[in-house]
């Protein structure tokens, strides 16, 4: 495989994989994320959120993941229906599930991270810098989030078959709405 092709696949695998295949592959990543996240006390509680918690059960971890993923899929599907003629639900479901895959890196990083004490941070905000592993996790979270957003955008683009400002606007609005919906859903359901 050529280098360009490899990087292209990392950013847009949906040219080759979509629908049920992407959903199956994405479920594997999400499943491992749920397991590793629980062990590392990393909760993926939002469309693009990740938080370190003191305690996290397997049920909570998977509920957070499930609700946030469902919010993204539903909102993006509705956004897709509004801007495109032919959007298959399975394509949105598959691409959005697989777009969560980069967060597995944060789940793994969470295993080696010690969260700084909250009471210490409120007294002295500079206490955040006392934990090197926490800083590493913070720094890592930015490229992971960018990668995930790029995957979501490409997944949305391939699924809808629309280009230009209409696509970008629908995606940005969809992403913000999904984040709000996931937060509200988590607040009401848990």
Partner 1 sequence: MYYKINKIKLYINFIQILFDYFKNRLYFCRIINSTTMLPTSCPSCHAQLKVKSLTCESCSTEVTGSYDLPVLALLSDSDQQFILRFVKNSGSLKEMAAELKLSYPTVRNMLNEIISKIEAYEK
For residue 39, CA distances in Å to 48, 79, 104, 132, 171 come to 20, 35, 13, 20, 33
The residue within the footprint of partner 1, chosen from 148, 159, 177, 182 (CB under 8 A), is 159
Q: Is 101 in the site for partner 1 (CB under 8 A)?
A: no
Q: Which residue has the tokens 């469309």?
A: 47
Cβ-based nearer residue to partner 1, 16 or 166: 16
Count other Cβ atoms within 10 Å, centred on residue 139.
Answer: 10
Q: Is 177 in the site for partner 1 (CB under 8 A)?
A: no
Applying CB under 8 A, the span of 14-22, 70-78, 123-131, 134-142 interacting with partner 1 comes to: 14-22
Tokens of 151: 């995957």
Q: Is 9 in the site for partner 1 (CB under 8 A)?
A: no
Q: Is 161 in the site for partner 1 (CB under 8 A)?
A: yes
CA distance 189 to 181: 12
Q: Counting runs of H as helices and runs of E as strands, what totals does the chain give?
A: 8, 2
The residue within the footprint of partner 1, chosen from 7, 10, 11, 16 (CB under 8 A), is 16
The residue within the footprint of partner 1, chosen from 9, 32, 83, 88 (CB under 8 A), is 88
Q: Is 166 in the site for partner 1 (CB under 8 A)?
A: no
Q: Is 68 in the site for partner 1 (CB under 8 A)?
A: no
Q: Is 114 in the site for partner 1 (CB under 8 A)?
A: no
Burial (CB < 10 A; 0-12, 13-18, 19+), residue 74, is: buried
């Amino acid at each position: 495989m050529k280098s360009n092709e490899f990087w292209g696949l990392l950013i847009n695998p949906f040219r080759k994989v979509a629908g049920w295949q992407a959903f199956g592959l994405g479920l594997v990543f999400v499943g491992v994320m749920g397991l590793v996240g629980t062990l590392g006390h990393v909760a993926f509680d939002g469309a693009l959120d990740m938080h370190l918690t003191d305690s996290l059960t397997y049920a909570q971890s998977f509920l957070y993941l499930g609700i946030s993923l469902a919010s993204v899929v539903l909102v993006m599907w509705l956004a897709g229906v509004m801007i495109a003629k032919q959007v298959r639900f399975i394509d949105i479901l598959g691409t959005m599930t697989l777009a969560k895959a980069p967060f597995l890196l944060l789940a793994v990083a969470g295993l080696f991270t010690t969260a700084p004490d909250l009471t210490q941070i409120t007294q002295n905000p500079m206490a955040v810098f006392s934990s090197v592993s926490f800083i590493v996790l913070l720094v890592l979270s930015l490229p992971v989030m960018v990668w995930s957003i790029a995957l979501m955008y490409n997944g949305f683009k391939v699924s809808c078959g629309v280009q230009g400002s209409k696509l970008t606007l629908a995606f940005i609005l969809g992403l913000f709405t999904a984040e709000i919906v996931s937060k509200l859903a988590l607040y009401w359901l848990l």
